[in-house]
Amino acid sequence: MKSADQRVLATFAAYLRVEKGLSARTIEAYLSDIAQFSEFQKDRLLGTAKREHVRAFLQKLHADSVQPRSVARKISALRALYRHLLLDKAVKQDPTLNIEAPAQWRVLPKSLRADEIDGMIASRMPKGDRRLDKAIAIRDRAILETLYAGAVRVSEVVGMRMLDLQLEEGLVVVRGKGDKERIVPLGEGAVTALRDYLKQGRPEFVKTRQSGNVFLSAGARPLTRQRVWQMVNESSRSGRHASPHMLRHSAATHMVENGADLRTVQTILGHADIGTTQIYTHMKLDHLRNVFKAHHPRGRRAK
C-alpha cells in the first residue's frame, strides 16, 4: 500500500477507536476493506478517488461474485472513511455520495429482543457502596431507557441539554445530523428513569461546576460517545455484542412490528428520506414469517 494511504488509514483507525468506540475486530475489517480499495486504485491515492472509481470497484466485486454482505460492509467502510476525510477537510468531495448498494446487497440492521433490553437496563446496579456508584448506575439506566424509548443516536444523547427536556409532556428535543432539531416522545419508563436521575444521580456529578448537559461524568464533564458505547456493550447479558445503534434499530423494529406507520417512525428517527426507514418493513416481514412458522399448522415443513 502507498505510504500516503497508510497514514490516512492510521488516522482513520484512531478516529474509529476513540470517537466511534468500535471494537478492534470491526476496525480491522474496515481497514482491510479500505486497503483492498487502495490496491484497486493502483497509482491513485485514496484522497483523489472519484465516484467513477468507487463504482468501478463495486462492479469488480460484483463480477468476482463477492458475497452481498461483504460488499455492503466494504461500502460502509468507504463511506465512513470519506465522511471522516471530508470533516477533516482532507478531501473536497465525498466519492461515495449517492452511491447505494443494490437492494439485494443491503444488510438488515441487527436488533435486540425486548427482554434483552429489559435485562440490559436491570443490569445497571451500583458497583460499590459510594453515593457516586449509585449515581452512575441511575445515570446509566436513564441513558439506556432514553436510547431505546426515543430511538435516538448516541451523539444525540451525549449532546442532550437540560433545556431540551420536557418531561411533563413526555418529550425531548434532540439535535440530529446537520444540527436539525426534532421532538421525540419518551415513554413512561424513560420519563421515570430521567426524573430519578435528575433527582438522585445528576446532583452527585454537579457539585463545584455547573453544566447544561443532561448526562455527565465526574466533575460535571459531558459524557463521551465512547463511554456510552462501552456502557451499552457491558450491559448486554445475552452474550451478544450490543451498541447504542442497536437500541435505536430495536426501537424502530419493535414499533413497526407493533403496527406503527412508516411516516411516524421516520419522524421519530429523524430520517430525511423515508426510503431509509423502509428497511424496517423487511424486518417486519421476517417477524411475520417467524410467527407464521411457529404457530401455523402448515407453517413448518413435514418431516
Residues acting as catalytic residues = 153, 177, 245, 248, 271, 280
Place of cell 455492503: 72
Q: How far apart are CA 237 and CA 252, in angstroms?
A: 21
Give the C-alpha separation, 281 to 277, whole Å.
8
Dist CA 256 CA 249 (whole Å): 11
Q: What is the 3-state secondary structure (H, E, C) of 158-177?
A: HCCEHHHEECCCCEEEEECH
CB count in 10 Å sphere of residue 297: 5
Exposed, middle or buried: residue 146 (CB in 10 Å: 0-12, 13-18, 19+)?
buried
- Reported as type and span, the H/E element at residue 123 is helix 114-123
| Residues 196, 154: Cα–Cα separation, whole Å | 21
The C-alpha cell at 214 is 443532561
Q: What is the per-residue burial (b if ≥16 Cβ within 10 Å, else e) of 112-142?
A: beeebbeebbeebeeeeeeeeebbbbbbbbb
Angstrom distances, CA of residue 200 to CA of 145, 164, 219: 16, 19, 16
